[in-house]
Copies of this chain bind each other. A is one copy, B any other.
């Protein structure tokens, strides 16, 4: 893959994904609005990786700097932040594959649910903010807990959506290099609406059952 820049990489979801990508040998740049926070997160991530005998370099930069020479950009900021963060970066992200792992979640009566997004989903909103990028939604249903528990393998299906078939294949191949994951091609980006809804369901199930859950699609040939 080359170098992966993770915007919002200091948050638990982005950081956990960065760790998993580093463990399969991908060079990681953690991005943050504040460079010192990114540098600090990268330093701590590097220590955690050493504990599992992984020496892949992981460093921290301000978001825009993180994107330089990146081959893949991951958007892992809270949804509340993307409308401010992304439009100024649209030029830097033009022509790139952008992996969206954002879930637009709100709390209603002690349950987590998806907020109404005018574009239909966070993934579609991000694609509309980055018209010259190729947005792929995936890994949304993976919990930060399981991603960060790097002494244990992950388990479950990574459902991949994008309006660009080649980019879906690329992200599917990346996901399947992580031991424990199977990628499932779900076609166009509109299906990210369902991924975001699954995340809400899994988080509510996690709290109710004191568990860390993921999903598997039964009935596929492979």
Contact = CB atoms under 8 A, between A and B. Distances in A.
Interface stretch (A11-19, A21-29, A34-42, A183-191): A183-191
Interface stretch (A63-71, A72-80, A107-115): A107-115
| Identical copies of this chain, number | 2
Interface in A193-211: 193-198, 200-202, 204-205, 208-209, 211
B217 A215 contact: yes
A169 to B, nearest CB: 13
- Interface magnitude class on chain A: 35 or more
Per DSSP, chain A at the interface is mixed
Given A197-B197, A198-B194, A111 B188 contact: yes
A201 B159 contact: yes
Nearest to A216: B216
A187 B108 CA distance: 13
Contacts of A52: none
A133 interface: no
A202 B157 CA distance: 13
Contact of A109 (B190, B193, B209, B217): B190
A139 to B, nearest CB: 15
Given A201-B194, A201-B195, A188 B220 contact: no
A187 B159 contact: no
B198 A155 contact: no
Contact of A211 (B114, B197, B198, B220): B220
A209 B194 contact: no
Interface of A: 108-109, 111, 113-114, 116, 120, 146, 155-156, 159, 184-188, 190-191, 193-198, 200-202, 204-205, 208-209, 211-221
